[in-house]
Amino acid sequence: MDKILKIGHRGASGYEPENTLISFEKAIDLNADGIELDVHLTSDGHLVVIHDETIDRTTNGKGQVHTMTLQELKSFNAGKNQEIPTLIEVFDLVNRRCLINIELKGIGTAKPVNDLINHYILDKKWEINDFLISSFDWDMLQEMALLNPKIRLGVLTEESIEDALSFAKKIKAFSIHPDYQLLSKENVDLMHENDFGVFPWTVNSKESIQKVKSFDVNGIISNFPDKI
């Protein structure tokens, strides 16, 4: 068994405000092998790292991400005086120190994410395997597969491992990212038999981490990467 990758969910969001630069830095400080983050587009076409469609829950502001400019979004406090970061700022912070798992959340994010990744590979000598793209929106994964057949894709599901498995085969995905509560030794073995990596989320308690580890998963996405 290869080592289980430790992936910080929205950074080390058990310790620092989620999807902020200090959260991603904290995950790297805790020796995470990767960070997971979410992207939306601003009204003026910038990729920003935030989970929800609105800024209401994670900042001191209110409103929908896609209706605001980058400058407007940058004026809000995302916790501990952090700004909502751009995806470029996160790439530059990480600087190849760990894997970046980008979850496509906002509509229309597939192409700009692919363009940015290509820029970092061509101009900054990053590798394609520095990135892993995941989404619950399987249409966006399909779009990404067509845009960039070389990029590693992860199929997110909170409902059905069987459906995720059949879709993963269809798009030649790299991995399946299930809600950890869907997992059993049998279905993890089945995903492995079909050559898919298994990266469950969001596994936070010591008990659930131990249970998921016993299934021989490939990585664990957690708010507390140091607990893995």
Active-site residue list: 9, 51
How far apart are the C-alpha atoms of 175 and 192, rounded to whole Å?
9
State the Cα–Cα distance between residues 38 and 104, nearest whole angstrom.
6
Cα distances (Å, whole numbers) of residue 114 to 61, 108, 131, 133 = 29, 11, 10, 9
Look at residues 228, 37, 195 and name the one whose alpha carbon lies nearest to residue 131.
37
| Residue position matching structure tokens 């960039």 | 148
Q: How many other β-carbons are positioned within 10 Å of the β-carbon of residue 171?
A: 17
Rounded (5°) CA angle 40-31-35: 10
First to last CA, the chain: 16
Residues 6+ away with beta carbon under 8 Å from 201? 9, 36, 156, 177, 178, 179, 180, 221, 222
Q: How far is CA 203 from CA 7, 14, 24, 45, 191, in A?
A: 10, 11, 17, 33, 19
Question: For residues 220 and 4, is the Cβ–Cβ distance under 8 A?
Answer: yes
